[in-house]
A and B are shown apart, each in its own frame.
Chain A
Amino acid sequence: MNALNLLFQFADNFAFVVLAAVGLAVIFGMMGVINLGHGEFIMIGAYGTTLSANAGAPLPVAMAIGVLVTAVMGLILERTIIHRLYDRLFDSMVATWALGLILTQGMRILFGNSIPQVSTPLGNIAYGEFSYSTYRVLLLPVALLVLGGLYVLFTRTEFGIRARATIQDPDTARALGVDTDRMYTATFVIGSALAGLTGALYAPTLTVVPGMGSSFLVEAFVAVVVGGPSVLLGTTLSGGLLGTIDAVFTNLFGTFYGQIAMLLTAIVVIRVLSDGLTGLVETVRNRVEGE
Chain B
Amino acid sequence: MKRLDLIMSERELDKVLHAIRAAGAPGYSVMRHVTGRGRSGDVVSESMEFSGLGANAHVIVFCDEATIERLKPAVNSILEYFGGVAFVADAQPL
- Are A and B a genuine interacting pair, yes or no? no
Chain B residues within CB distance 8 Å of chain A: none
